[in-house]
Amino acid sequence: MSWANLQRELALLTTRSIEGDLTGEQQSDLTRLLEQHPKLIDDYVEAMFIRSSLHTQFDQFKADRLLESCIGENIGPATMSRRVNRPRRLSIGFAAAAAVVLLAAMVWVFSQSDEPSTASPNRPTQAHRADQPAGAPLATLVATENVVWDSEPIQPGQELVAQTLRIKSGRVGFALVSGTEVQLHGQSTLRIDDSMHVTLTQGRVDFSCPPGAEGFTVQGPQGVRVVDLGTRFSMQSQPSGPSRVHVTEGRVRIEQPGMATPIELTTGRSVHIDPQAHRVYSYVVEHLGVQDPLQMVPAWSLEKGDSTRVGPVREPSASGEQGAWLIEDHGTAPGQVAMYSYKLTDQQVRRPWRAVARVRVIESTGDNQVLHVDDGERRWAMWLHPDRIATRNHRAEFIDLATGLDLTSKEHLIEIVYANDEAVFLLDGNEIGRIQREKTMGRMYQPQIRFGAGSSLGTGSARWSFVRFAPEGDQINSH
């Protein structure tokens, strides 16, 4: 087959792969073509690089997946037919324009490729060039959304060298020449060191690393380091505070000075690393302090009525409260709730699990502030009042777990611990009740954990200092 015909075959297979129409036989043809003609790998990588630059996660953002909101998808001959769910869409005009540019760019890529020389048939592909010369382009800015720059503004399409990106708000996405896609959220500072190394000073960043980019490394504050082992993951850090890592797909290795053994984190798992307090714990999802749950790693979603208010609050007190997330509900009309939720998997709720929160009730006129977990069939809940805590039985009746309390003067630790078809409810480490599975409230909702103002029948407000969920057996620090 002539070189021109090989290029045409590659262009056809690549286009169908991008459109998700590649059959199993065509998938094998694509793999065989690249194996037999290594020179075509450069063309393939460049075409896919352009594709990723035009169709990253900026064409949609998922409100219900955060730190399941990682950009891109793993791209390679062996994985091209697998699609990844994407977040919410930008305008149709943007998508149409991107498609036109993509097709034009692919035509240019394949038409510009020369027939291979026999002198160097196995030159390295763009995806593996980490040793870039000084000043060489290391990445391309893909897109921005509502961005406010704190460093020199950069436009989509502009090449990036070894440099620091600072944004005050919005989103910025770029693609490294190694194939890794990166997205900065909100107030973030990140330095591009080379095509396989970046340094995160603060903020939240999502990474999507394709096959061949294993070893891509993120250096965080206080010596925390995350090494890609084939994955999509997110990292959130503060200059002098804890770091969080969440793996959407695949696995990463986490290293830190003084850590006896590196941590390997797999799909759906998160870890909280606090070097100053010498604490490391694993969890599925977490809310902490004055940080917006919608911006956590991974991110929560929010159902909110017009008569509710949420936001950070700081009220130093003798109890040592440093800050919390305030949830207020002043309405009783249908839909007047303010509930944060995070989707769990069947596997996460079928094994023993623990839901933990530190909260202070401010006021309540009825059943309002609540922490609950749905497992697909049952709902396990702790309803919080100024002077009592209740749950609901299989007849949907409220039953008191503890009365004569004062939940308003300081924060209290509440826990739901599930194992062996039974949930145990704890207040400040002490058991206040338990309920068998068949005796608790039936709810056929998808597995999830939720907290906040959960009933439009009552009003109320509370300060939530933290909320965490983790399968039992994993280390979870509740202090």
pTM: 0.59
Q: Assess whether 425 and 294 both reside in one domain.
A: yes
Instruction: State residue 165's pLDDT score.
Output: 96
Q: Which CB contacts under 8 angstroms, 24+ apart, belong to 41-46? A: 41/125, 42/113, 42/123, 42/125, 42/126, 43/7, 43/10, 43/109, 43/110, 43/113, 44/10, 44/14, 44/77, 45/125, 45/126, 45/127, 45/179, 46/109, 46/126
Backbone phi, then psi, for 102, in 5-degree steps?
-60, -45
Strand 181-194 relative to strand 441-442, pairing: unpaired
173: domain CATH number is 2.60.120.1440
* CATH at residue 459: 2.60.120.200
The predicted structure's pLDDT at residue 267: 87
Which residue range is the domain that position 220 belongs to?
136-283
**H or E stretch covering 109:** helix 92-112
Give the chain's length: 479
Q: Is residue 61 classed as helix, strand or coil in its secondary structure? A: coil
Q: Does 307 lie in the same domain as 262? A: no
| Spatial contact of 203 and 189, defined as CB atoms under 8 Å apart | yes
Q: Looking at the structure, do residues 253 and 315 belong to the same domain, yes or no?
A: no
Q: Are residues 273 and 293 in the same domain?
A: no
Q: Are 187 and 70 in a shared domain? A: no
Same domain membership, residue 31 and residue 141: no
In degrees rounded to 5, what are phi and psi of residue 47? -65, -45
Domains identified in the chain, total number? 3
* The predicted structure's pLDDT at residue 96: 41
Query: pLDDT at position 238, please?
Result: 84
| Spatial distance between the Cα atoms of 297 and 402, rounded to a whole number of angstroms | 33
pLDDT profile of the chain (479 residues), mean per 10 = 72 69 73 70 58 43 36 33 32 40 48 46 37 75 92 92 95 93 94 96 93 93 91 89 88 86 87 76 84 86 94 67 85 90 91 94 92 94 96 93 96 94 95 92 89 89 93 53
440 and 426 within one domain:
yes
Alpha-carbon dihedral 40, 46, 47, 49, rounded to 10 degrees: 140
Is 13 part of any domain?
Answer: yes
| 156/279 same-domain check | yes
